[in-house]
Amino acid sequence: VYLDGTGSNDPNNDNLSYVWYSSAEIQLSDDSIANPSFTAPIVASDTTYYLGLVVNDGYFNSLPDTVSITVTRVDIMVSSYPYDEDFESGIGGWHPGGTNSSWQFGTPEGST
């Protein structure tokens, strides 16, 4: 995700400094530049994050400007795996409903 604070300006054309703030889950590339970026976290459900920007002209801080970004949960579909046998009359895929999208090859314990 790319943020852009370059629309900020100063009527006296003073140099500006930037301070971005966000929740702990968001790791900005640099919170003191006009246009930082971050990689959206993997979420278990749709999650909204709020980020803010304060600009300073060397004398005064601006009022905070905020933006909300919603990160959407993405279901992972395993469509290929090292198992070469039909399962219930057809080739299938696994669709995990939880947050753990890993699997392990093996034989189940006990009789089936």
pLDDT tens-digit readout, 82-96: 655 555 555 555 555
Beta strands in 1-112 (DSSP E): 17-21, 47-56, 65-71
28, 36 in Cβ contact below 8 A?
Answer: yes
- Write down the domain spans for the chain: 17-71
Residue 23 sits at φ, ψ, to 5 deg, of -70, 165
Question: Is-contact 51 11, C-beta < 8 A?
Answer: no
pLDDT tens column, 47-72: 999 999 999 999 999 999 999 999 99
Q: Amino acid letter at 23? A: S
Q: Is residue 94 helix, strand or coil?
A: strand
33-50 pLDDT per residue, tens = 999 999 999 999 999 999
